[in-house]
Amino acid sequence: MTRSVAGLIAMALLMPQPKALSDLHAQARAESKGVQVGYCTSLKNLAAAKSAGFDYVELNTTEIANLTDAEFESAVADTARIGLPTPASNSFVPATIRLTGPAIDRDQQAAYVTKAFDRVSKLGVRIVVFGSGGARRVPDGFSRDEAFRQLVDFGRRAAQLARPRGITIAVEPLRREETNIINSAADGLELVNAISDPNFQLMVDFYHLASEHEDPGIIVLARAHLRHLHMANPDGRVFPQSRGEFAYEPFFAALRSIGYGQRISVEASTKDLKTEAPRAIALLRGMF
């Protein structure tokens, strides 16, 4: 008999957390750091992000992979000089490298992922967000089941490359306007379970969750695999500024219920970083 989502969530709340995730939460509480708030931006904005008060910056993986060797060494030096941690990166695979469809090239995939991981790991990245809507988009007429199997195969191979570099891949469900596969956190959880590798886990972006009208209770079901978050006010995909501007509470209530204590990155636009960033940071810290 099929159980309702609400019933599954209620059951999950009564279940003990898996040891690995419980340990992460206990460590976060013991260190008294709380949830860290970061900013998704490019290398050129590191100093501005630090000045605005962010705890870290989430970099662009493709940007870093495409730098010349000289540009990359300069980026490493600049990051060290500015002193703002860069523990996460997004934009994992460019659209030019196909992950689904009849024209995938596994050798090309492996070469790109190896280079990208080598570089971001030198910058201190430990979470690589796997959105890459263009790369994973299923071509018209191609079997979605086969595309899913291709993503499972890619995820397993990428996780093997991530492990020795201390990286965890976190798949990002994206709204239907941005890709046509893995559109909900439930879809992402299905992929994570199919890959079944500790270095391939899940992240949730509130903007996409809200756009897809997904029940925030999925957070509870996914708690053993949740490793990262993105945040934006869905009304315009802008910096969040106040509790009353959008229905944020159910999402954060679910996060509080599982004791989430890791990172949340603002992935949004702003016309006034100096003014809006401190408000967003204070709001997000307060929500936890």
- The reply to whether 54 falls in a domain is yes
Structural contact between residues 150 and 99, judged by C-beta atoms closer than 8 angstroms = yes
Per-chain mean pLDDT for the chain = 91
Most distant CA pair in the chain: distance in Å? 60
- The reply to whether 116 falls in a domain is yes
- The reply to whether 18 falls in a domain is no
SS3 state of residue 124: coil
- The reply to whether 10 falls in a domain is no
- The reply to whether 142 falls in a domain is yes
Q: How many residues does the chain have?
A: 288
Structural contact between residues 88 and 128, judged by C-beta atoms closer than 8 angstroms = yes
CA torsion sign, 8 to 9 to 13 to 16? positive
Provide φ and ψ at 72, rounded to 5°. -65, -45
- The reply to whether 14 falls in a domain is no
Instruction: Fill in the DSSP letter of residue 238.
Output: B
Measure Cα distances from 18 to 12, 22, 67, 222, 258 in Å.
11, 6, 40, 11, 11
d(C-alpha 234, C-alpha 90), whole Å? 19
Of 9, 4, 10, the residue nearest 221 (C-alpha) = 9
d(C-alpha 130, C-alpha 21), whole Å? 20
Q: What is the pLDDT of residue 162?
A: 98
Q: How far is CA 132 from the centre of its chain?
A: 11
Q: What is the pLDDT of residue 287?
A: 97
Q: What is the pLDDT of residue 33?
A: 55
- At 86, list the tokens: 């860069």
- The reply to whether 242 falls in a domain is yes
- The reply to whether 148 falls in a domain is yes
Between vectors from CA 278 to CA 275 and to CA 279, what angle results, nearest 5°? Answer: 85
Q: What is the pLDDT of residue 3?
A: 41
CATH number for position 246: 3.20.20.150
Q: What is the pLDDT of residue 34?
A: 86
Name the domain count of the chain: 1
d(C-alpha 33, C-alpha 30), whole Å? 8
What does pLDDT average to in each consecutive run of 10 residues of the chain (288 residues)?
Answer: 44 44 36 80 98 98 98 98 98 98 98 98 98 98 98 98 98 98 98 98 98 98 98 98 98 98 98 98 97
**Domain enclosing residue 181, as ranges:** 24-287
Q: Taking the CB of residue 100, how many other CB atoms lie within 10 A of it?
A: 24
Strand 56-60, strand 36-40: pairing: parallel
Q: What is the pLDDT of residue 38?
A: 98
